[in-house]
Amino acid sequence: MDPTATFPGAATRAHVEGVPRIQQDAFFCGPTAIAMVMQWAGSDIQQDQIAELAFSPRARGTYQADMIGSSRRLGQLAVEISTFDQLLTEVAAGHPVIVFQNLGLGIAPVWHYGVVTGYDLERDAVYLNSGQEDQMVLPFDLFQRTWQRGGNWALVVLPPDDLPVSVAETRVLSAAAALERVDQLRAAETLYQTGAKQWPDSWLWQFGLGNALYAQGDLRGARAALRYARAIAPDVPEIRSNLAHVEAELGG
Protein backbone atom coordinates (compact mmCIF):
# COMPACT_ATOMS: atom_id res chain seq x y z
CA MET A 1 0.00 0.00 0.00
CA ASP A 2 1.16 3.52 -0.85
CA PRO A 3 -0.70 5.58 1.79
CA THR A 4 -0.21 8.89 0.00
CA ALA A 5 -1.89 7.46 -3.11
CA THR A 6 -4.55 5.46 -1.25
CA PHE A 7 -5.72 8.42 0.84
CA PRO A 8 -5.17 11.45 -1.40
CA GLY A 9 -7.63 13.66 0.49
CA ALA A 10 -6.22 13.02 3.95
CA ALA A 11 -3.87 15.29 5.82
CA THR A 12 -0.31 14.10 5.30
CA ARG A 13 0.25 13.54 9.00
CA ALA A 14 -1.60 13.98 12.27
CA HIS A 15 -0.90 13.40 15.94
CA VAL A 16 -3.22 13.61 18.94
CA GLU A 17 -1.32 15.17 21.81
CA GLY A 18 -1.63 14.08 25.41
CA VAL A 19 -2.97 10.53 25.11
CA PRO A 20 -1.36 8.64 28.02
CA ARG A 21 0.31 5.27 27.61
CA ILE A 22 -0.98 2.92 30.28
CA GLN A 23 0.50 -0.48 31.02
CA GLN A 24 -2.50 -2.77 30.91
CA ASP A 25 -3.26 -5.46 33.46
CA ALA A 26 -3.74 -8.98 32.08
CA PHE A 27 -6.63 -9.17 29.60
CA PHE A 28 -7.60 -5.54 30.34
CA CYS A 29 -6.80 -4.11 26.89
CA GLY A 30 -10.42 -2.94 26.48
CA PRO A 31 -10.69 -1.12 29.82
CA THR A 32 -7.18 0.25 29.32
CA ALA A 33 -8.07 1.68 25.90
CA ILE A 34 -11.11 3.44 27.36
CA ALA A 35 -9.04 4.71 30.29
CA MET A 36 -6.50 6.19 27.88
CA VAL A 37 -9.05 8.17 25.89
CA MET A 38 -10.93 9.30 29.00
CA GLN A 39 -7.73 10.41 30.73
CA TRP A 40 -6.77 12.26 27.54
CA ALA A 41 -10.08 14.12 27.90
CA GLY A 42 -9.35 15.06 31.51
CA SER A 43 -10.76 12.21 33.60
CA ASP A 44 -8.75 10.48 36.32
CA ILE A 45 -10.51 7.14 35.84
CA GLN A 46 -8.40 3.97 36.00
CA GLN A 47 -8.56 0.73 34.01
CA ASP A 48 -9.77 -1.34 36.97
CA GLN A 49 -12.74 0.98 37.46
CA ILE A 50 -13.72 0.52 33.83
CA ALA A 51 -13.15 -3.23 34.06
CA GLU A 52 -15.88 -3.39 36.71
CA LEU A 53 -18.30 -2.27 33.99
CA ALA A 54 -16.79 -3.84 30.89
CA PHE A 55 -14.62 -6.88 31.59
CA SER A 56 -16.03 -10.39 31.12
CA PRO A 57 -13.97 -12.89 33.17
CA ARG A 58 -15.36 -15.91 31.35
CA ALA A 59 -14.30 -14.43 28.00
CA ARG A 60 -11.05 -13.07 29.49
CA GLY A 61 -11.70 -9.88 27.60
CA THR A 62 -14.21 -7.18 26.76
CA TYR A 63 -16.98 -7.49 24.18
CA GLN A 64 -17.46 -4.62 21.74
CA ALA A 65 -20.97 -3.97 23.05
CA ASP A 66 -19.48 -3.54 26.53
CA MET A 67 -16.87 -1.13 25.19
CA ILE A 68 -19.74 1.03 23.96
CA GLY A 69 -22.01 0.49 26.94
CA SER A 70 -19.38 1.14 29.61
CA SER A 71 -18.26 4.34 27.86
CA ARG A 72 -21.83 5.61 27.86
CA ARG A 73 -22.45 4.61 31.46
CA LEU A 74 -19.41 6.75 32.27
CA GLY A 75 -21.03 9.74 30.55
CA GLN A 76 -19.08 9.64 27.30
CA LEU A 77 -20.24 10.02 23.73
CA ALA A 78 -19.45 6.70 22.04
CA VAL A 79 -19.89 6.18 18.28
CA GLU A 80 -18.65 3.32 16.12
CA ILE A 81 -16.78 3.92 12.86
CA SER A 82 -15.60 1.36 10.33
CA THR A 83 -13.61 2.90 7.48
CA PHE A 84 -10.00 4.01 7.12
CA ASP A 85 -11.14 7.40 5.86
CA GLN A 86 -13.21 7.92 9.02
CA LEU A 87 -10.32 6.86 11.21
CA LEU A 88 -7.88 9.27 9.55
CA THR A 89 -10.44 12.07 9.62
CA GLU A 90 -11.02 11.68 13.36
CA VAL A 91 -7.31 11.56 14.16
CA ALA A 92 -6.68 14.60 11.97
CA ALA A 93 -9.44 16.37 13.94
CA GLY A 94 -7.56 15.65 17.16
CA HIS A 95 -9.55 12.63 18.34
CA PRO A 96 -7.90 9.36 19.44
CA VAL A 97 -9.68 6.28 18.08
CA ILE A 98 -10.03 2.89 19.77
CA VAL A 99 -9.52 0.02 17.30
CA PHE A 100 -10.05 -3.72 17.59
CA GLN A 101 -7.29 -5.80 16.04
CA ASN A 102 -6.28 -9.40 15.54
CA LEU A 103 -2.53 -9.32 16.05
CA GLY A 104 -2.20 -13.05 15.42
CA LEU A 105 -3.21 -15.33 12.57
CA GLY A 106 -6.53 -16.80 11.52
CA ILE A 107 -5.80 -20.11 13.21
CA ALA A 108 -4.31 -18.44 16.30
CA PRO A 109 -6.06 -15.09 16.82
CA VAL A 110 -4.73 -12.55 19.28
CA TRP A 111 -7.59 -10.10 19.87
CA HIS A 112 -6.58 -6.69 21.11
CA TYR A 113 -7.86 -3.15 21.62
CA GLY A 114 -5.47 -0.29 20.94
CA VAL A 115 -5.77 3.46 20.53
CA VAL A 116 -4.69 5.14 17.30
CA THR A 117 -3.04 8.42 18.25
CA GLY A 118 -1.46 9.45 14.96
CA TYR A 119 -0.31 8.63 11.46
CA ASP A 120 2.17 9.78 8.86
CA LEU A 121 1.41 8.99 5.22
CA GLU A 122 4.88 9.82 3.95
CA ARG A 123 6.59 7.65 6.57
CA ASP A 124 4.01 4.87 6.10
CA ALA A 125 3.32 4.76 9.83
CA VAL A 126 0.30 4.36 12.11
CA TYR A 127 0.96 5.15 15.77
CA LEU A 128 -0.90 3.35 18.55
CA ASN A 129 -1.01 3.29 22.33
CA SER A 130 -1.45 -0.42 22.76
CA GLY A 131 -1.54 -1.22 26.47
CA GLN A 132 2.22 -0.93 26.91
CA GLU A 133 4.50 1.92 27.91
CA ASP A 134 6.16 1.88 24.49
CA GLN A 135 4.36 3.24 21.46
CA MET A 136 3.43 0.75 18.74
CA VAL A 137 4.27 1.84 15.19
CA LEU A 138 2.86 -0.18 12.27
CA PRO A 139 3.10 0.28 8.49
CA PHE A 140 -0.30 1.12 7.00
CA ASP A 141 -0.57 -2.23 5.24
CA LEU A 142 0.14 -4.24 8.39
CA PHE A 143 -2.19 -2.10 10.47
CA GLN A 144 -4.92 -2.50 7.86
CA ARG A 145 -4.56 -6.30 7.90
CA THR A 146 -4.73 -6.52 11.69
CA TRP A 147 -7.71 -4.16 11.76
CA GLN A 148 -9.52 -6.02 8.97
CA ARG A 149 -9.06 -9.26 10.88
CA GLY A 150 -10.83 -7.50 13.73
CA GLY A 151 -13.79 -6.64 11.51
CA ASN A 152 -12.75 -3.01 10.89
CA TRP A 153 -14.34 -2.11 14.22
CA ALA A 154 -13.40 1.20 15.80
CA LEU A 155 -14.88 3.43 18.46
CA VAL A 156 -14.71 7.17 18.97
CA VAL A 157 -15.12 7.98 22.67
CA LEU A 158 -15.36 11.68 23.51
CA PRO A 159 -16.70 13.92 26.26
CA PRO A 160 -20.21 15.12 25.36
CA ASP A 161 -19.08 18.66 24.54
CA ASP A 162 -16.92 17.37 21.66
CA LEU A 163 -18.37 15.89 18.48
CA PRO A 164 -16.97 13.29 16.10
CA VAL A 165 -16.41 14.71 12.64
CA SER A 166 -16.79 11.61 10.46
CA VAL A 167 -20.29 10.37 11.30
CA ALA A 168 -23.77 11.50 10.34
CA GLU A 169 -25.92 13.68 12.58
CA THR A 170 -28.35 10.81 13.12
CA ARG A 171 -25.59 8.66 14.64
CA VAL A 172 -24.73 11.38 17.14
CA LEU A 173 -28.41 11.80 18.01
CA SER A 174 -28.61 8.07 18.67
CA ALA A 175 -25.62 8.36 20.98
CA ALA A 176 -27.35 11.17 22.87
CA ALA A 177 -30.50 9.10 23.29
CA ALA A 178 -28.36 6.20 24.52
CA LEU A 179 -26.96 8.42 27.27
CA GLU A 180 -30.51 9.11 28.42
CA ARG A 181 -31.28 5.38 28.50
CA VAL A 182 -28.40 4.77 30.95
CA ASP A 183 -29.47 7.74 33.12
CA GLN A 184 -26.53 9.92 32.12
CA LEU A 185 -28.88 12.86 31.85
CA ARG A 186 -26.35 15.62 32.43
CA ALA A 187 -24.11 14.16 29.74
CA ALA A 188 -27.11 13.85 27.40
CA GLU A 189 -28.02 17.48 28.14
CA THR A 190 -24.51 18.61 27.25
CA LEU A 191 -24.49 16.56 24.06
CA TYR A 192 -27.88 17.94 22.97
CA GLN A 193 -26.60 21.47 23.59
CA THR A 194 -23.43 20.75 21.62
CA GLY A 195 -25.42 19.20 18.77
CA ALA A 196 -27.79 22.17 18.70
CA LYS A 197 -24.83 24.48 18.09
CA GLN A 198 -23.54 22.24 15.30
CA TRP A 199 -26.94 21.74 13.64
CA PRO A 200 -28.98 24.83 14.62
CA ASP A 201 -31.70 24.21 12.03
CA SER A 202 -32.56 20.74 13.34
CA TRP A 203 -35.42 20.68 15.85
CA LEU A 204 -34.41 17.26 17.15
CA TRP A 205 -31.58 18.66 19.28
CA GLN A 206 -33.79 21.15 21.09
CA PHE A 207 -36.48 18.49 21.47
CA GLY A 208 -33.99 16.08 23.01
CA LEU A 209 -32.61 18.84 25.22
CA GLY A 210 -36.10 19.63 26.45
CA ASN A 211 -36.75 16.01 27.31
CA ALA A 212 -33.41 15.63 29.11
CA LEU A 213 -34.04 18.77 31.15
CA TYR A 214 -37.55 17.63 32.01
CA ALA A 215 -36.19 14.29 33.24
CA GLN A 216 -33.90 16.25 35.58
CA GLY A 217 -36.78 18.32 36.93
CA ASP A 218 -35.84 21.54 35.14
CA LEU A 219 -39.29 22.42 33.83
CA ARG A 220 -38.48 25.99 32.84
CA GLY A 221 -35.39 24.89 30.95
CA ALA A 222 -37.42 22.16 29.27
CA ARG A 223 -40.10 24.68 28.28
CA ALA A 224 -37.51 27.02 26.76
CA ALA A 225 -35.90 24.23 24.74
CA LEU A 226 -39.24 22.87 23.52
CA ARG A 227 -40.39 26.35 22.53
CA TYR A 228 -37.18 26.69 20.55
CA ALA A 229 -37.90 23.34 18.87
CA ARG A 230 -41.43 24.49 18.06
CA ALA A 231 -40.10 27.68 16.47
CA ILE A 232 -37.94 25.56 14.19
CA ALA A 233 -40.65 22.98 13.39
CA PRO A 234 -44.08 24.28 14.37
CA ASP A 235 -45.98 21.36 12.81
CA VAL A 236 -44.34 18.46 14.66
CA PRO A 237 -46.99 16.94 16.95
CA GLU A 238 -44.46 15.45 19.41
CA ILE A 239 -43.08 18.91 20.16
CA ARG A 240 -46.55 20.38 20.71
CA SER A 241 -47.57 17.48 22.93
CA ASN A 242 -44.48 17.59 25.14
CA LEU A 243 -44.56 21.36 25.37
CA ALA A 244 -48.22 21.32 26.39
CA HIS A 245 -47.43 18.78 29.08
CA VAL A 246 -44.59 20.88 30.50
CA GLU A 247 -46.63 24.08 30.40
CA ALA A 248 -49.51 22.35 32.16
CA GLU A 249 -47.18 21.27 34.97
CA LEU A 250 -45.74 24.75 35.29
CA GLY A 251 -49.21 26.24 35.27
CA GLY A 252 -50.30 23.90 38.02
Task: Map out the domains of the chain as residue ranges.
Answer: 3-158, 169-251
Q: Considering only CA atoms, which of 182, 221, 192, 213 is closest in space to residue 75?
A: 182
Which runs of E-coded beta strand occur in the chain?
13-15, 77-81, 97-102, 111-120, 125-129, 136-138, 154-158
Question: Which pLDDT does position 106 carry in this prediction?
Answer: 66
* Residue 252 predicted with pLDDT over 70: no
Question: Which pLDDT does position 50 carry in this prediction?
Answer: 93
Which runs of E-coded beta strand occur in 82-212?
97-102, 111-120, 125-129, 136-138, 154-158
CATH domain 169-251 topology: 1.25.40
State pLDDT tens for residues 194-221: 999 999 999 999 999 999 999 999 999 9
Q: Considering only CA atoms, which of 237, 197, 193 is closest in space to residue 213?
A: 193
Question: Which pLDDT does position 182 carry in this prediction?
Answer: 97
pLDDT range class, residue 27, cuts 50, 70, 90: confident
State pLDDT tens for residues 119-148: 999 999 999 999 888 899 999 999 999 999
Contact 171, 163 (CB under 8 A): no
Question: Which pLDDT does position 249 carry in this prediction?
Answer: 94
State pLDDT tens for residues 140-178: 999 999 999 999 999 999 999 999 999 999 999 999 999
Question: Which pLDDT does position 55 carry in this prediction?
Answer: 83
Q: Considering only CA atoms, which of 206, 202, 174 is closest in space to residue 192?
A: 206
Question: What is the pTM for the complete model shown?
Answer: 0.94
Share of the chain above pLDDT 70, in %: 99
Higher pLDDT, 106 or 228: 228
State pLDDT tens for residues 49-97: 999 999 888 888 899 999 999 999 999 999 999 999 999 999 999 999 9
CATH domain 3-158 topology: Cathepsin B; Chain A (3.90.70)
